Amino acid sequence: MAEQRGGHKSVWLIFFILLFSLFSASASSNSSLENISNNVEKVFPEVIEILPHDSSAFTQGLVFLDGKLYESTGLYGESSIRIVNITTGEIESITNLSETYFAEGISISNDSIIQLTWRENIGFIYNISTLENIGNFSIDGEGWGICSTPSGDIWLSDGSYQLSKINPNNLSSIIGSLTVYYNNSPINRLNELECPFDSGLIFSNIWLEDKILAINPSTGNVCAEYDFSEVRKQYENNNSRELNGIAYDNESSLFWITGKNWSNYYLVDLEIDSNFCQLSESEICCDEDSFSPFKVLFFIVVGIFLIPFSWPIFGMIFYKIFRRQTQHPPPPRIIKDTSEGLQG
């Protein structure tokens, strides 16, 4: 009987060793996949064209449409929304905000301009041609950057490591979120946004830095970093503050870049060579529970059929189990009664 209990213990021991090796292998596999997917390509863009910029403009947002630049400027008492001539850099039209508002990022949605405010919990909607204020909406928390894809998806930043997806038909309603990672760690101070493609990347600058990040919208991983520090050194001056304007020029497939109190707008190519930044529409999907039953089942199947050392262990387990079930118990031992002989 003691031998049978020992057999049970050995079977359970082998079973737990199998489970440990299975999940250790899957965790190691996940870790290596994360390290691969989070490679960040560093790019130093070259300037293709330069356009004069109003150096008094505390730029908070930038959008390009139909040959014109739309720009949002901040600071209390200086906030505005303006249209800029793409040939001369001159202001064609401007609407100033009340001094009680600090304007932030802008985007285009439903043929209107959307503008955020910093801490006033309100956003404004403008006529795209006249810049007349035609509506407003509430914001839960701070407003920093905003962008919209051609299909209507809208992303919003609040200076944290998360982006919020809002309902294009109800700008006050948040319908999703995305945590942004740089080399597997959340990265804070996401600011101005640009998302010009339906099945592509989200571009974001980082507050207080002269860099733009390319973000994979299906995973939140940063796959490329654009460093504009050399552009600042070469063309800007000591009055120029951090980069804070990204606008995709759909006519040239290039990007206009500027910053707070910068002297110029710069036309650059944000082309990416890395395969980790090449996305297809089928890759853009919702977040799933990382511990779903389907994933657990998948790991078990992988453990059985792909991990070589799992086969001997399974063989030992099944051998012990079936051997015990098919074995016939030994015949009972007959003990001869010799008591009479001993008594004689």
Q: Which residue has the tokens 């700008």?
A: 171
Please, which residues bridge with residue 95 across strands? 81
Q: Is the pLDDT of residue 267 over 70?
A: yes
List beta partners, residue 127: 112
Dump pLDDT digits (tens) for 270-288. 876 656 576 544 444 444 3
Q: What angle do CA 48, 50, 52 make, to 5 degrees?
A: 170
Instruction: Flag whether pLDDT at 342 surpasses 50.
Output: no
Please give the pLDDT value at position 327: 54
Nearest to 73 by CA among 103, 101, 94: 103
Average pLDDT, the chain: 81
> In which band, very low, low, confident or very high, does the pLDDT at 11 lie, cut at 50, 70 and 90?
very low
Alpha carbon 159 to chain centroid, angstroms: 14
**Alpha carbons 292 and 94: distance in angstroms, whole number:** 52
Q: What number is the average pLDDT over the span 177-188? A: 95
pLDDT on residue 200: 82
First to last CA, the chain: 36
Tell me which long-range contacts 278-281 makes (C-beta under 8 A, separation of at least 24): 279/199, 279/200, 279/201, 279/216, 279/217, 279/218, 280/199, 281/198, 281/199
Quick one: fold of 41-283?
Neuraminidase (2.120.10)
Give 306's DSSP letter: T
The span from the CA of 224 to the CA of 12, in Å, is 48
Query: What pLDDT, on a 0 to 100 scale, did the predictor assign at position 197?
Result: 85
Per-residue pLDDT tens over the stretch 24-54: 444 444 443 344 445 788 999 999 999 999 9
Query: What is the model's pLDDT at position 320?
Result: 62
Percent of the chain with pLDDT over 70: 68
**Ranges of each domain in the chain:** 41-283
